[in-house]
Structure 1
Amino acid sequence: MTASSPSGDAPSGHAIPDDSQPGAPQPDATGSHGPRLLAPGLRIALALAWLGLLVAAGLWLGSRLQLSGDLRKFMPAAQTPAQKLLIDELGEGPGSRLLLIALSGADAQTLAAQSTAMAATLAVEDRFQFVANGMDGGLDAVPERLRPYRYLLSPTLDGQAFDAAWLADELGARVQDLGSPAAGLIEPLLPADPTLETLKLAEAWQPANAPQRVHGVWFDRAGREALLAVQTRAAGFDPTGQQQAVDAIRAAFEASRGDSAATLTLSGPGAFSVEIGGRTAREASLIGTIDSIVFALLLWLAYRSWKAPLLGGLPLATGGLAGLAAVALAFDGVHGITIAFGFTLIGVAQDYPIHLFSHQRAGLSPWANARALWPTLGTGVASTCIAYLTFLASGVDGLRQLAVFTIVGLGSAALATRFVLPALLDPDARDPAHSPRLARLWARLARWPRMGPVWFGAVAMVALAIALLAPGPFWQNDLAKLTPVPAPALARDAQLRDELGAPDVRYLVALERADAQTALQDSERLRPALEQLRTTGAIAGYDLAARYLPSAATQLARQRKLPDADTLRPMLASAVAASPFREDAFAAFVDDVAAARAAPPLRPQDLASTPLAASVDGLLLRHADGRATALVSLGGLRDPDAVARVVSANGAQLLDLKQASESLVAQYRSRVLWALALASVLLVATVWFALRSGRRVLRVIAPMLLTTLLVLALLRGLGIELNLFHLVALILAAGLGLDYALFFDHAGDDRDSQLRALHAIIVCSLTTLLVFALLATSSIPVLRAIGATVALGVACNFVLALLLVRGAAEVDGDPMPSRATAST
């Protein structure tokens, strides 16, 4: 945002010198009041050198920039257990890393073959923690090195004695199994596992509501789509990792498709983030291209010079690179949102050279022109930076980054405009004050009635009433409403989750305990209550870490039921004697039981690099201080109140992540509002320091205040719930309004100065309005919110600055008294 400065006709002792005012010394084109002017060839060389330096700096910075996509950097510190869990789940939780795949468009056998081929390809990819499609009943879920532990992990021995009678029954069942179609699967397991405990575990670890199997793999209920679920190693907030995972899945699909007409549907947070990121980049590129073309055309039309668009972009580019470098130096990684929003917010720096161009005229040195404008420009820049300076105290890392980027960027662009750009300007530029068209426009605008205190108060009261009393919630706390994912894609995602039996993504049961073992033990005690809830229909199913990894106490209890080798051998010999198996067929079984008797209990860290690790790590969160939270995911939740009562009675808590996200948004908004309140006080103080007149301060700030109320009223009157991005946009719009008012105030009552200020503000407002009007058409809700808010703000600020701040003009020969006369 650009800024303004006091006019030279302020009361004596409070005026800021302005060389552009009538009566001020007018330096000639030789630059007697500043550095000497450069020859045309040297000006071109300096411009090229500046451009080259920017390109070199951009390349250097791009090679060293560490980008971050962690959304948690833009979240305030979590206060409640649900908020803490939400922050963890947002980036690293299994839900954020789960991708759902559906294959359709071919016959079931072809789709099953493709599912099998894809699963085999993806399973060896290091990008995925697990790949599941129901193949082999999930036997691969039990790695070879964990199979001796099967009796410690399985609940079989909780209600069954390990004796000769049981072994004899199991061997009899195996004889029948070997005569069944499943013989090929069972026979390799028998020497080490005659009771098929490995297979029982694999089946028990299948999802509680697993899909049906057709041709050995998962299919939907209608039997028309083959289903797969994969979990990425990359966190949900890692856009690069998620993009690589999506690319790997698409490549595996293409490799398995052959000549079939099958189609791929990919869903889940990672897939959505990749799609949103691509769409955002495409729209940003299109809008940026149109913005650049419009900016160049407007500057060419306004100044009739091909140099204006080129020179006008140099301060903006300088500010962008300076802001980016400052964030890179001050923080550990630059967030993508910081870059996106930062460049949007400092885009107002394009106004700085426009003011310089519009006030340049023959006979006036560009250096003197810049010096005369600097108090006004500097006041506006300082005021805008103050609004973002308060974000440094917000306690949110992302807002701090945005503040540093914006403050350094705007300051650098302003300084480049003041101390470098004048060296490149032609001192004999066309004076906008001599434009007949502009004079006719100003004559019409001068006849507009001024808005007095009564009308100002009436409009403000009506706008405030509409903003506060419009039906519907004032604030939008539901983050789901900000998602740019199309409704059909969300519905498809919900359908696939239902088909795959994926857990509810809103509710979780949590038990936070002093350590992982205590959390596992208490979650085991919770299982009977969960079973009762399933029986009554309050939930359709549940999942918890203890299902895969029992507590050490439970494992030790099962271990004590295992016989030693001297006891097991005669027991086994007796069972084998009554069966057709050879006496030495189960030597490996005896070794496994002996290994299980001597092994220490399995702990979470022992599961690293196994498929079980993904399931356990997602349901047992271990914290840096040693504490742990055991989670219970719920499927088919129908009665949250009943679940909350039951789990609370068992020392657990039902967490509503939707409510947690809304409270976090409200907390975030509260921080921003307090920051803005502080910024408002500092802004008024800054303008007062510059203008030294209460009357002028009120007149300069009035358009900004009324515009804010009018934009709020328009948005609320249209039924729009306000979100955090509307607030950011209102700050930007307020800065623009202050800029327009300051420059109208700077023009005073001199007709030529008024025309130059009007010319600059028209060019500034048109470029800004077109850019943000384009943003308002975006399919991305965040961009749309910012675009619509700022576009409305630009229009209101321009009109109100004319009605409230413009200098006196001669209309029908009746000049209004000047500020200097009135002050006297």
Structure 2
Amino acid sequence: MSKLTNAIKQKFAFAVWLSVLLTAALYCTSKIQRGDAFETNILGLLPASVTEDVQSELNKKSGFDRKFAILISADIDSDALAAAASLGTQLNTLNNVSIDQHDGDQVTALRNFYRPYLHQLLSPDWRHRLQQSTPLEIANIAYRELFNPVAKFRPYSMAIDPFNLGGDWFAYILPQQNRFRASDLPSVKNGDNIWYIVSGELTGSPFSPVVQTPISSTLAQFSEKHSELRILRSGLVFHAAEATALSSREISTVGLGSLLAIVFLVVTVFRSGPALLAIALTMSASVLGGLACCLLIFDRVHLITIAFGSTLLGLAVDYCFHFLIKYRQVADAPLAGRLLARGLLFSAASSIFAYVFQLLSPLAGLQQFAVFMCAGLAAAALNIIVLSQYFREAPSPSFNRWLNIYPQYVAPIYRRLSLPYKTISVSLFVLTVALSTLLLNRENSDDIRDLNSSSMALMASEAKVQNLLGIAGTQRYLRITASNEQERLEQSLNIANQFDTLRPSQPLPASHVLGRLIPPDAQQRADFELLRDKLYGKQGAIYELCQLLNNDCSTWQGLAASFQPDLRPSSLPADLRPLFPASLFSTSKETRILINLDNDTAVALEDLLANNPKISYVDKVAQLSTSLQLFRHNTSIALAVFLLAFTVAMFIIYRTRALAPLITLGIVIAVSLVCATGAGISLFHILALLLVIGLAVDTSVFYLELGLTAETWLASTLSAITSVLAFGLLALSEVPVLHQFGSVVFAGLLCSWLLSPLIFHLFRLTPTNELAVRPISTNKDMLS
């Protein structure tokens, strides 16, 4: 009766566990199908406090992250024009894409907006001319321009603007205004090449695959069809699409590599369907547990978290290998579970404890990673417990040959190596000191730009487009705050003029400076009075021009009769704001000036701003890099605290026997970092140590509990092989974060696998659990 009751309990537990896994699978599937489960924005890994400025409402309102531009050129200009027009038409049919229209409406809107203020807005050239030239000199210049065969752009008629003040003003605030033609695409000439511009804006997030895929696919098909064209791309959507494709490809590579390695080893070593099913169930349970918990706690899970989290498979399969091999030894699943229980629980608990520390980090990516790993490890351990009550398989006569590898070939090598005890001990001590010295002299790597996963071709294309179009990046800017609108305009105008003195060869575009686009009242009034006196006064340039034209000037009387005081930034029409970055990055509380800096100018700018508390220089790249440095520092401290706590726990549980695994762990950590951090130690190198520590601890704890035997060595070897094959692939990744992670894991796991048996032979340790070393059962025993 008791056996029947136990069987019912076992089946019930297994049914409950399968129900939990099925529920987790359905929940994850539903989230993924809705398209809101994952994100690829690297800033999503950082805390909101760090990305607050980057992801502020002002940045979102500006729409800069949603804008894109595609430039097309060809040997025959007409071919490029036709191809660009065709591409624009194709893109405009896509959802979430709006192509800019250049049909003359913007020029008309600009004319209408600035028309009332024509005689109080002066470009610097006109202001200098009025201040330095005589009325006759000004009139002669205007007279010659009237008969110049290459006439300047003239937005207003001679009747209202005889000196073409409007044309100079338009050229000042919008140097590329000649691109906006009623029947043509905008274009820019570079040497002998004319580049036609197809620009637009996304109506959705550039990080959404639903937005990325259509525009990327359309452009790829277009490029393939028109191989004769030269095509440049600029826009966050293209970088995000590359990151998404690359991350997905890397994750697939790691997942496929892990799966193939595990299937190959299970088929080769165990030759058992139930064993393969047990491993598949354990890995599935770990991944489902981790992903479901992440999706429950966080709005979205970053793909980098999934890539890092895939290392969970190495720990999960390690547990399962130990169980399967111990089952082959004792031919009793519940007994195998009991023999493994202490080591399994201690190993899982120590790994979970290490990841729990990361929950204290403000780094959002670390928190996701910690939740994924903690939940996944708990699920894997629980799955082994359930399996130990239910698992059954037929014996495999060929399995013993795998167990013979260690006693016949491996153990003799380690015994010979460990015989010169003092020599090996001193060598290991010297090695540890040398590695520690190298680590102390190694620099750190915290530059956020090192995490960029865009291809060199795309980066080169982006740089060329920005150079051709005169686009400034949004990563560096001057932030100007003031108590009222006029003060902000004055401050922006003054600091822009001072900045231009630092770099006279590259003055700031007027479209980037709100005080130039909409001058403060004082500047407008001063320009109005100068213009009224010098141009339209009784002896002004208008009088001299009339003499040259034999005109009585009756139509030009009273052109500068009154000042219009209502020109404000808020009055700029919404459809014109995209032309002027200054208007996009301005609110009632602040305005920004986008700038590009070299090192010398940055030092001079710092001195310029030293005594002006209302103007500050913001470098978002430097801020994010500083944040990464802080997180690396905090993570290193948390890891050190964990290692200290782990050391104390090991000595409490295992006494002096703990020296062997602790020495092994110390050398493994040092080797991992030295081999993988040639370019500097980053946050993600430190994170990779968590997996290395987890697997190294697993190996050492099972060696302590069960002894360094044929069974434990084989289980640890199979786990190391699958992990090295799978996560060693990350070392070849083109994604910098994954490459850093994979390099540490590869070096660490290889070192742990090779070094652990040597250290245990040096210490000549016996197993804690004497029952674990009972003789291997024969096939006859298993059948009975």
How far apart are the structure 2 equivalents of 1:38 and 1:250? 56
How far apart are the structure 1 equivalents of 2:738 and 2:47? 22
1:678 aligns with 2:646: no
User: CA contact under 8 A between 1:508 and 1:654: conserved in structure 2?
Assistant: yes
| Greater Cα offset, 606-615 or 295-304 | 606-615
364, 373, 378: which one aligns with 1:397: 364
Q: Which residue of 2 aligns with 1:72?
A: 43
- How far apart are residue 734 of structure 1 and its match? 1.0
**CA 1:419 to 1:217, structure 2 compared with 1: closer, same or farther past 3 Å?**
same
- How far apart are residue 774 of structure 1 and its match? 1.9
Show structure 1 runs of 5+ residues with no match.
1-27, 569-573, 810-815
Q: How does 1:662-811 map to 2 (within 5 A)?
A: 662-688=625-651, 692-715=653-676, 719-748=678-707, 754-805=709-760
**CA 1:207 to 1:72, structure 2 compared with 1: closer, same or farther past 3 Å?**
farther
Task: Give the total of aligned pairs.
Answer: 745
- How far apart are residue 68 of structure 1 and its match? 3.4
Q: Which residue of 2 aligns with 1:15?
A: none
Which AA in structure 2 matches 1:668? F
1:616 aligns with 2:582: yes
**CA 1:113 to 1:150, structure 2 compared with 1: closer, same or farther past 3 Å?**
farther
**CA 1:110 to 1:644, structure 2 compared with 1: closer, same or farther past 3 Å?**
farther
- How far apart are residue 367 of structure 1 and its match? 2.8
**CA 1:601 to 1:653, structure 2 compared with 1: closer, same or farther past 3 Å?**
closer
Partner secondary structure for residue 282 of structure 1: helix
User: CA contact under 8 A between 2:480 and 2:492: conserved in structure 1?
Assistant: yes
Identity %: 19
How far apart are the structure 2 equivalents of 1:143 and 1:233? 28
Partner secondary structure for residue 360 of structure 1: helix
Q: Which residue of 2 aligns with 1:22?
A: none
Partner secondary structure for residue 603 of structure 1: helix
Which AA in structure 2 matches 1:373? L
- How far apart are residue 710 of structure 1 and its match? 1.8
**CA 1:296 to 1:224, structure 2 compared with 1: closer, same or farther past 3 Å?**
same
- How far apart are residue 415 of structure 1 and its match? 1.1
Give per-residue Cα distances to partners, 1:440-493, cap 9 Å, x unaligned.
Answer: 245435624449688456534434434534798521223334434444543444
| Greater Cα offset, 655-664 or 767-776 | 655-664
Which AA in structure 2 matches 1:698? L
How far apart are the structure 1 equivalents of 2:75 and 2:422? 73
Q: How does 1:415-564 map to 2 (within 5 A)?
A: 415-420=382-387, 422-426=389-393, 435-441=403-409, 443-444=411-412, 447-450=415-418, 455-456=424-425, 458-469=427-438, 473-503=442-472, 508-513=477-482, 518-535=487-504, 537=505, 539=506, 541-542=508-509, 544-546=512-514, 549-550=517-518, 553=521, 557=525
**CA 1:119 to 1:332, structure 2 compared with 1: closer, same or farther past 3 Å?**
same
| Greater Cα offset, 102-111 or 193-202 | 193-202
TM-score, with normalisation over the residues of structure 1? 0.74
Q: Which residue of 2 aligns with 1:642?
A: 604
- How far apart are residue 369 of structure 1 and its match? 2.0
Show structure 2 runs of 5+ residues with no match.
537-541, 771-784
User: CA contact under 8 A between 1:100 and 1:230: conserved in structure 2?
Assistant: yes
How far apart are the structure 2 equivalents of 1:121 and 1:141? 27
Give per-residue Cα distances to partners, 1:558-581, cap 9 Å, x unaligned.
Answer: 899899xxxx9xxxxx99999999
Partner secondary structure for residue 264 of structure 1: strand
- How far apart are residue 648 of structure 1 and its match? 4.3
Q: Which residue of 2 aligns with 1:16?
A: none
Partner secondary structure for residue 232 of structure 2: strand
**CA 1:600 to 1:503, structure 2 compared with 1: closer, same or farther past 3 Å?**
closer
User: CA contact under 8 A between 1:102 and 1:225: conserved in structure 2?
Assistant: no
Q: How does 1:350-389 map to 2 (within 5 A)?
A: 350-361=317-328, 364-389=331-356
Which AA in structure 1 matches 2:31? L
**CA 1:627 to 1:776, structure 2 compared with 1: closer, same or farther past 3 Å?**
same
Q: Which residue of 2 aligns with 1:603?
A: 570
Q: Which residue of 2 aligns with 1:56?
A: 26
Which AA in structure 1 matches 2:686? L
- How far apart are residue 281 of structure 1 and its match? 1.9
180, 188, 191: which one aligns with 1:222: 191
Partner secondary structure for residue 193 of structure 2: coil
How far apart are the structure 1 equivalents of 2:673 and 2:76? 56
Partner secondary structure for residue 75 of structure 2: coil
User: CA contact under 8 A between 1:128 and 1:245: conserved in structure 2?
Assistant: no
Q: How does 1:581-592 map to 2 (within 5 A)?
A: none
**CA 1:646 to 1:472, structure 2 compared with 1: closer, same or farther past 3 Å?**
same
Partner secondary structure for residue 192 of structure 2: coil
Q: Which residue of 2 aligns with 1:25?
A: none
How far apart are the structure 2 equivalents of 1:739 and 1:553? 73
Which AA in structure 1 matches 2:352? C
TM-score, with normalisation over the residues of structure 2? 0.78
User: CA contact under 8 A between 1:541 and 1:634: conserved in structure 2?
Assistant: no
How far apart are the structure 2 equivalents of 1:367 and 1:636? 69
Q: Which residue of 1 aligns with 2:173?
A: 205
**CA 1:330 to 1:515, structure 2 compared with 1: closer, same or farther past 3 Å?**
farther
Q: How does 1:276-355 map to 2 (within 5 A)?
A: 276-345=243-312, 347-355=314-322
Q: Which residue of 2 aligns with 1:633?
A: 595
Question: How much is the aligned-residue C-alpha RMSD, in angstroms?
Answer: 5.3
How far apart are the structure 2 equivalents of 1:549 and 1:302? 75
**CA 1:107 to 1:138, structure 2 compared with 1: closer, same or farther past 3 Å?**
farther
User: CA contact under 8 A between 2:80 and 2:229: conserved in structure 1?
Assistant: yes
- How far apart are residue 355 of structure 1 and its match? 1.7
| Greater Cα offset, 692-701 or 258-267 | 258-267
| Greater Cα offset, 192-201 or 666-675 | 192-201
- How far apart are residue 797 of structure 1 and its match? 0.8
**CA 1:458 to 1:287, structure 2 compared with 1: closer, same or farther past 3 Å?**
same
How far apart are the structure 2 equivalents of 1:122 and 1:548? 35
**CA 1:304 to 1:672, structure 2 compared with 1: closer, same or farther past 3 Å?**
same
Give per-residue Cα distances to partners, 1:414-463, cap 9 Å, x unaligned.
Answer: 21221256424337577956744454245435624449688456534434
User: CA contact under 8 A between 1:208 and 1:541: conserved in structure 2?
Assistant: no
Give per-residue Cα distances to partners, 1:162-216, cap 9 Å, x unaligned.
Answer: xxxx9xx99x979986997879x86897899887666544422335899999x98
How far apart are the structure 2 equivalents of 1:359 and 1:776? 33
User: CA contact under 8 A between 1:141 and 1:202: conserved in structure 2?
Assistant: no
**Higher relative contact order, structure no. (Cα contacts within 8 Å, ≥ 6 residues apart):** 1
How far apart are the structure 2 equivalents of 1:319 and 1:346? 7
| Greater Cα offset, 69-78 or 775-784 | 69-78
| Greater Cα offset, 773-782 or 361-370 | 361-370
Which AA in structure 2 matches 1:388? Y
Give per-residue Cα distances to partners, 1:387-428, cap 9 Å, x unaligned.
Answer: 111111112222212211211121122212212564243375
User: CA contact under 8 A between 1:78 and 1:87: conserved in structure 2?
Assistant: no
How far apart are the structure 1 equivalents of 2:214 and 2:277? 42
**CA 1:410 to 1:769, structure 2 compared with 1: closer, same or farther past 3 Å?**
same
User: CA contact under 8 A between 1:540 and 1:636: conserved in structure 2?
Assistant: no
Partner secondary structure for residue 805 of structure 1: helix
- How far apart are residue 301 of structure 1 and its match? 1.3
Give per-residue Cα distances to partners, 1:758-814, cap 9 Å, x unaligned.
Answer: 2211111111111122222223232222222111111111122212236998xxxxx
User: CA contact under 8 A between 1:136 and 1:216: conserved in structure 2?
Assistant: no
207, 211, 233: which one aligns with 1:238: 207
Which AA in structure 2 matches 1:521? E
Which AA in structure 2 matches 1:682? A
User: CA contact under 8 A between 1:519 and 1:629: conserved in structure 2?
Assistant: yes
